[in-house]
Amino acid sequence: MKKSYKIEVDCANCANLMEDAAKKTEGVADAVVNFMALKMKVEFEEGADPKQVMENVRANCKKVEEDCEVFI
Amino acid sequence: MNAKQKKNLIRIAVSGAMMLALEFVPVEGLARFVLYMIPYLIIGYDILIKAFQGIKNRQAFDESLLMAIATIGAISLALYDNGDYTEAIAVMWFYQIGEWFQSYAVGKSRNDISALMDIVPDTANVEGEDGQLEEVDPDDVEVGSVIVVRPGERVPIDGVVIDGTSSLDTSALTGEAVPRTIKKGEDVASGCINLSGVLKIRTTKEFGESTASKIMELIEDAGSRKAKTEKFITRFARVYTPIVTGLAVLLAFVMPLYHIATGAPAEWSTWIYRALIFLIMSCPCALVVSVPLSFFAGIGTASREGVLVKGASYLEALASTKTVVFDKTGTLTKGVFDVTGIHADDIDKDMLLHMAAHVERHSSHPIAVSLRNAFAHEADSCSVEDVEEFAGQGVRAKVNGKVVYAGNEKMMATAGVETHGCENEPVGALIHVAIDGKYAGHIIISDVVKDHSVQALKELKKAGVRQNVMLTGDVKEVGERVAKDIGIDRVCTDLLPQDKVAKFEEILKERKDENEMTAFVGDGINDAPVLRRADIGIAMGAMGSDAAIEAADVVLMDDDPLKIPTAMRIARKCMAIVRENIWFAIGIKVVCLILGAVGMANMWFAIFADVGVTVLAVLNAFRCMFVKGIKPENV
């Protein structure tokens, strides 16, 4: 399953860090952050609960870049 | 400017003014330190907080952390040395200016480019039962509802006009500047602007499935398919910061120890100062931001010209395309048959066409249609009787009492009339006509070359394409003749639709270099397999054809072949800017790092290498937006 989320982040490198952080989150099969469109596309693993996973994605993103937001 | 940017601008202004004022305050010692800390904290408190959080989250190469270490280090050195805190504060100050500019520029370009592509209206006017208009969210409009689009408004949802005539500005979809006239019964695509009359439209699709929404989705997703260059930069950024930070540590500790070991003075403060310069330059931001920004601008510009590029990776591939393969019908030619010549033997040319058109009055064959179209007065009072169709040959009918046969050579043989070929080796099919048992002449019917095909092929060559190839189902003579007329380098004729993939693969194998891309241009009908097989599949005239939009990588909204060289021109410009930015940013950083290591650069240099380069790279990326489409030559 794929879903697209709006994000907020200021710098391009931070967007890349967020992408890495999201990819490493459990339940995420793949993630792509589009800095210019301020969007994060997440592909979930089979059986994962997107809501739960996204909470973790947001927490992990905040760890690498305090000043970011993922709108779930 | 958003609230955050305003706040930061005020911080920059206040701390800058304070720093300047402190230059004239003659205080020494601790008082001086405390006074100087005020502007430092005003400009840098958020960085210090983020740095602290970086430590807490074990982010060793966090940009804020590095910046905090660099400035605190510089302040400590100043405290120990001479009390010149200005440099440390200036580093933070310029860093914030750089961040501010970057945020402003990116935000602005995001808005500009989005506005360029913003073709989806936020509201739709639905007509209620009492005739009153109600403004609703277009998402809530059901298929089959009646919406009203007033002059000046954008059509929100695809549908059919049920009332009203108007002219439509389709430029957002097609890049075509000339308005299109629209009347009752015609299809209208969302995203067009209604220019003159009020239109009532019965919707045929949901909002999310409508053309405009689909296009927006495509463009927004385009950035998610990252180009090789972008991936390279991300990888580079990942190693760049740790390497530079590592070098900084080496400079700060190993060099003095080495000096001690060799008996020279350690010069701790000198080496630590140089290490701090390295830390300031360790941020890869200039590189990282400029690449996606350039691609975003390139994709936005292309869509302004009526070319949808479905990913940054395709823009990259388009720039290194060396071979373009065309499917002939519908791309280089119009795909409709036209009368292109009338060779009458003994009678008047018009009379010959007149007779032929009447014979074909009731036929639905494409050739019959084109004959009728060519003769404007087909529906006149002439009598047409005893029509008989001969399958695979032609038609016989009695026109005004005369027996007229029209068809191919076999038809003439059936009619017992002697024919002769055409002296001019025409491109196309011959329709022979016999009147009352006597050969009257022939009419040439052929697929017409599009107005801009010749120019488009020339422009492609200028844009670096080595070979233009044409695939066609036509017989050899016709195909080769068309190819010669329009300037195609190579033509493959007598191809059945299913042969096209095989032929295309043959052409693919001929390339000498993996990086030479081969594009395929089709009209989106029947050629989805080839579109998929190609490095870049370009679908033409795809407005409204979902299958073609799905299969292709680049979609031309109308069917003008000039859009292909236009797209290539944008792609090449965009790639050139991306490469410039990469070399420029890496180059400046490396030079400044070397100068910093040998002590020839101070912190001002370092701040230029960081902030200055970012600013220049972002400004350079904007140039992608100024590429103009190729104007048609007068033909």
Residue with tokens 């970011």: A68
- Which domain CATH number covers B198? 2.70.150.10
Quote the pLDDT of residue B322. Answer: 92
Among residues B89, B83, B73, B75, the alpha carbon closest in space to that of B272 is found at: B73
At residue B546, does pLDDT exceed 70? no
Is B354 in the same domain as B323? no
Number of domains present in the structure of chain A? 1
Tell me the count of A-B CB pairs closer than 8 A. 63
Q: What residue numbers bound the domain in which A27 lies?
A: 2-71
- Which domain CATH number covers B411? 3.40.1110.10
Quote the pLDDT of residue B381. Answer: 73
Residue B327 known to be catalytic: yes
Quote the pLDDT of residue B436. Answer: 83
Q: Which of B209, B226, B250 is the last residue of a domain?
A: B209
Quote the pLDDT of residue B461. Answer: 92
Among A36, A41, A63, the residue with its CB nearest the CB of B296 is A36
Is B563 in the same domain as B458? yes
Among A13, A36, A67, the residue with its CB nearest the CB of B50 is A67
Q: For B390-400, how does the pLDDT look when each residue is reduced to its tens digit (9 = 90+)?
A: 777 788 888 88
Is B469 in the same domain as B408? no
- Which domain CATH number covers B549? 3.40.50.1000
B100 touches chain A (CB under 8 A): no
Residue of B nearest to A68 (CA): B50
The mean pLDDT of B285-308, rounded to a whole number, is 84
Contact present, B92 and B71 (Cβ < 8 Å): yes
B337 touches chain A (CB under 8 A): no
Among B57, B226, B289, the residue with its CB nearest the CB of A12 is B289
Q: Is B392 left (phi over 0), alpha (psi -120 to 50) or beta?
A: left
Query: Contacts of residue B62 in chain A, CB cutoff 8 Å?
Result: 64
Is B532 in the same domain as B550? yes
Residue with tokens 């506005």: B115
Q: For A3-45, how does the pLDDT look when each residue is reduced to its tens digit (9 = 90+)?
A: 888 898 888 888 888 999 999 999 999 998 988 888 888 999 9
Query: Contacts of residue A61 in chain B, CB cutoff 8 Å?
Result: none
Three-class SS state of B396: strand
Give the whole-number percent of chain B exceeding pLDDT 90.
Answer: 14
Render the burial of B578-611: b for 16+ CB within 10 Å, e for the rest.
bebbbebbbebbeebbebbbeeebebebbbbbbb
Q: How confident is the model at residue B377 (pLDDT cuts 50, 70, 90)?
A: confident
Q: How confident is the model at residue B571 (pLDDT cuts 50, 70, 90)?
A: very high
Quote the pLDDT of residue B567. Answer: 93
The mean pLDDT of A48-68, rounded to a whole number, is 88
Dihedrals phi, psi of B154, to nearest 5 degrees: -90, 145
Quote the pLDDT of residue B494. Answer: 82
At residue B149, does pLDDT exceed 70? yes
Q: Which of B422, B448, B474 is the last residue of a domain?
A: B448
Cβ–Cβ gap B223/A38 under 8 Å: no
A52 touches chain B (CB under 8 A): no
Residues 6+ apart with CB under 8 A from B509: none
Quote the pLDDT of residue B424. Answer: 66
Q: Which of B423, B448, B473 is the last residue of a domain?
A: B448
Contact present, B267 and B259 (Cβ < 8 Å): yes
At residue B259, does pLDDT exceed 90? no
Q: How confident is the model at residue B175 (pLDDT cuts 50, 70, 90)?
A: low
Helix (H) / strand (E) element for B194: namely: strand B193-194
At residue B112, does pLDDT exceed 80? no
Residue of B nearest to A4 (CA): B221
Catalytic residue among B327, B523, B560, B610: B327
The mean pLDDT of B531-544, rounded to a whole number, is 80
Higher-pLDDT residue of B634, B570: B570
Cβ–Cβ gap A16/B220 under 8 Å: no
Quote the pLDDT of residue B203. Answer: 92
Among A14, A36, A63, the residue with its CB nearest the CB of B292 is A36
Q: What residue numbers bound the domain in which B442 lies?
A: 338-448
Counting every residue written for chain A, the total comes to 72
Cβ–Cβ gap A35/B102 under 8 Å: no
The mean pLDDT of B196-220, rounded to a whole number, is 84
How high does pLDDT run on average in chain B?
84
Is B466 in the same domain as B492? yes
Q: For B380-389, how does the pLDDT look when each residue is reduced to its tens digit (9 = 90+)?
A: 777 778 888 7
At residue B621, does pLDDT exceed 90? no
Is B515 in the same domain as B467? yes
The mean pLDDT of B239-260, rounded to a whole number, is 88
Structure tokens at B257: 């120890």
* Cα angle for residues B611, B616, B622 (degrees, 5° grid): 130
Is B579 part of any domain?
A: no
Is B376 in the same domain as B426? yes
Cβ–Cβ gap B284/A63 under 8 Å: no
Is B477 in the same domain as B556? yes
Is B315 in the same domain as B459? yes
Structure tokens at B495: 């191809």
Structure tokens at B234: 């991300």
Three-class SS state of B290: helix
Contact present, A23 and A30 (Cβ < 8 Å): yes
Min CA distance, B515 vs chain A (Å)?
Answer: 25
Starting at the earlier edge strand, list the strands of the sheet with B517-522.
B307-309, B554-556, B536-539, B517-522, B321-327, B467-471, B490-492
Is B435 in the same domain as B518? no
How crowded is residue B378: how many other Cβ atoms within 10 Å of its Cβ?
Answer: 17
Cβ–Cβ gap B103/A32 under 8 Å: no
Number of domains present in the structure of chain B? 3
End-to-end CA distance of chain B, in Å? 48
Among B22-26, B272-276, B334-338, the minimum mean pLDDT is found in B334-338
Chosen for mutation from B45, B112, B113, B288 (greatest number of chain A CBs closer than 10 Å) is B288
Quote the pLDDT of residue B378. Answer: 66
Q: For B439-463, how does the pLDDT look when each residue is reduced to its tens digit (9 = 90+)?
A: 888 888 877 888 888 999 999 998 8
Quote the pLDDT of residue B499. Answer: 83
Is B461 in the same domain as B444? no
Min CA distance, A13 vs chain B (Å)?
Answer: 6
- Which domain CATH number covers A30? 3.30.70.100
Residue of B nearest to A60 (CA): B57
Chosen for mutation from B220, B293, B301 (greatest number of chain A CBs closer than 10 Å) is B220
Q: State the ipTM, two decimals.
A: 0.84
Query: Contacts of residue A10 in chain B, CB cutoff 8 Å?
Result: 99, 102-103
Three-class SS state of B550: helix
Is B376 in the same domain as B518? no
